[in-house]
Chains A and B, each alone.
Chain A
Amino acid sequence: MIRQTVISVTNLVKKFGSFVANDNLSFEVYEGEIFGFLGANGAGKTTALRILSGLSEPTSGKVTVAGFDAKKEPERIKRNIGYMCQKFSLYEDLTVRENITLYGGIYGMTKKLILERMANLLSRLSFEEFGDRQISSLPLGLKQKLAFSIAIFHEPRIVFLDEPTGGVDPITRRQFWEMIYETADRGITVFVTTHYMDEAEYCDRISIMNEGRIVALDTPEALKKKYNAGSVEEVFIRIARPKMTEKSML
């Protein structure tokens, strides 16, 4: 099967003064895949994510997202992506329907289309009774599901999830990943950063960043085989923190 490339990064460099946050990154992400972006804090994940989502400009290199150049057409990229961040991103004092209408409107959807998809979404999540409740009155699990649904409400080609499951209980995390799978099945590419190594196992492919560089990129199985490890966590420890393991071995 020939898969279409939706994100293409070639020799991406991002510097802040003399500090190199992204050092010569190159990778591709294909349509409909779940792409995991792993790395310790400060490894350069967030910087790369900001560049991919059109928030900041690369210092050099070529970045194409959904067919648009990140340097020249960040505004067009923004129309074609969805985004959900670790910090909670719905308005607590607005109702479920108001939140949906607001984001639909921001992405330029017509009123008719918003109403249509909203009815659809609420029934799919069995959320009808919550429609007119304020977000602040919902349990965290529901909020998280709703935030994700809103991030893909405008049917973007790619959705970026920045540590989406932080602080959520295991059951909700499980359900959340089911939603991610459904989304990928619909052809929407999912680009997810995470701290949880067990979650990395659910991804189609993962890349591991360390000190601004991508040090490994493959399917979880291939990586485990290559590093002779039982889990992605072991792989991660072996390549991302060699210094630490040396220390602990001493």
Chain B
Amino acid sequence: MKRFLGFVKKEFLHIFRDFRTLIILFGIPTAQILIFGFVVSTDIKDAGVAFLDLSNDDVTQKISDKICSSGFFRREEDLHSYNDIDLVMKKGKARAVIVFGENFGRSLTGQGKASMIIITDGSEPNTATLITNYATAIVTDFNREYTGSGLSGAVLLQPEVRMFYNPGLKGHYMFVPGVITLIMILICALMTSITITREKEFGTMEVLLVSPLKPMQIILGKVTPYFLLSFINVIMILLLSYFVFDLPVKGSLALLLAESMLYILMSLSLGILISTVSRTMQQAIFISFLGLMLPTILLSGFIFPIENMPKVYDVVASIMPPRYFIVIIKNIMIKGTGFGFVWKETLILTLMTVLFIGLSVRNFKVRLE
């Protein structure tokens, strides 16, 4: 046991002395969470809007003020003719242009309706949809106030709601579990496969194998630090998402942590397996990235729903471990369900872990022969 602890200590020294390893371990997860949280966030804030106000009366003034004071939009420019619209969109300064027709106020009070157009930049469909929805909602709101003030029962604008009104949190709900799933498998598998192949490449593995340390002790000694650090990582991501994005864990925290441990264990054993089949660090990195990162992003249901994929991809996705963990973590974090709802996925992950460890041990023995 003392031999083992000395060996684990050495592995920690490797990690803490290598700046790059530290960055991969702690910098990337933090950056990912913040990037996904703030940049890829699905709510809009301060989006530039240009106005083409052809009537320029009291009512149009009120509506545009209301839009700009909502916090979602910022008045970018006032246009004077239809020709300006194309230009301001192409420059990218305005995400949307709102056009009020001629005699807007008069026709609203007189005929009970008036025309306005919301033009959005379709090259970014998600943002465009959001902007349309937000603007429509604001106008509907205005509509209600206006009607409420007793000025006839005019229907100003019939909003067409294409997406459920979303105050922005739904995006976080999707990406926090996704980032944990992606980061854990990547870090654990990548780092373990690298650290083991590095010993092979530098010739230190041979010296270790000749020493009284048993192969099992060597492998365990190498992955123990990564297990601990990855677990700290999970906690760090959860804290970040709680304090920065107000995203709590709805279900049992203990269950979530236990499931995370299982998932980390699975990823570590996958990393060991990768290290037994690759001779150099480069091979290990290549396999980890190509074999794990892309499929995890594309096929785990992190971004694209698996239900919408062609059958073939569905089959391929079913052998990807992240797919099951994402179900588990979403269930516990967001829906707040208990073990009863995720036992199947847990069982699959456990079986995968056993399979990976079994294959690694077999490969390891073959190599020793």
Contact = CB atoms under 8 A, between A and B. Distances in A.
Which of under 10, 10 to 19, 20 to 34, or 35 or more describes the interface residues of B? Answer: 20 to 34
B202 A94 contact: no
A237 B62 CA distance: 101
Contact of A78 (B6, B210, B368, B369): B210
Contact of B6 (A81, A84, A93, A105): A105
Interface string B200-224: 0011101111111110000000000
B90 interface: no
B311 interface: no
Contacts of B3: 105-108
B207 A83 contact: yes
Given A56-B369, A85-B206, A105-B7, A93 B14 contact: yes
Contact of B10 (A16, A83, A98, A108): A98
A91 B204 contact: yes
B160 interface: no
Contacts of A55: 206, 209-210, 368
Given A78-B212, A98-B13, A107-B211, A89 B204 contact: yes
A81 B7 CA distance: 19
B202 A87 contact: yes
A75 B217 CA distance: 13
Which of under 10, 10 to 19, 20 to 34, or 35 or more describes the interface residues of A? Answer: 20 to 34
Q: Majority SS of interface residues in chain B?
A: helix
Given A55-B368, A89-B204, A105-B3, A79 B212 contact: yes
A155 to B, nearest CB: 14
A44 B270 CA distance: 34
B174 to A, nearest CB: 39
Interface in A53-98: 53-56, 75, 78-79, 81, 83-94, 98
B211 A106 contact: yes
Nearest to B9: A102
A101 interface: yes
B285 to A, nearest CB: 19
Contacts of B369: 16, 56
Counting chain B CB atoms within 10 Å of each CB, which of A75, A89, A103, A106 scores highest?
A106
Interface in B176-226: 202-204, 206-214
A83 B7 CA distance: 18
A63 B29 CA distance: 53
A107 B368 CA distance: 21
Contacts of B204: 89-91
Interface in B5-28: 6-7, 10, 13-14, 17-18
Contacts of B214: 75
Nearest to A150: B207
Nearest to B2: A105
Nearest to A98: B13
A94 B13 contact: yes
Contacts of B2: 105, 108
Interface of B: 2-3, 6-7, 10, 13-14, 17-18, 202-204, 206-214, 368-369
16 contacts: A55-B368, A75-B212, A83-B211, A85-B207, A87-B202, A88-B202, A89-B203, A90-B204, A91-B204, A92-B202, A94-B14, A94-B17, A105-B2, A105-B7, A106-B213, A107-B211
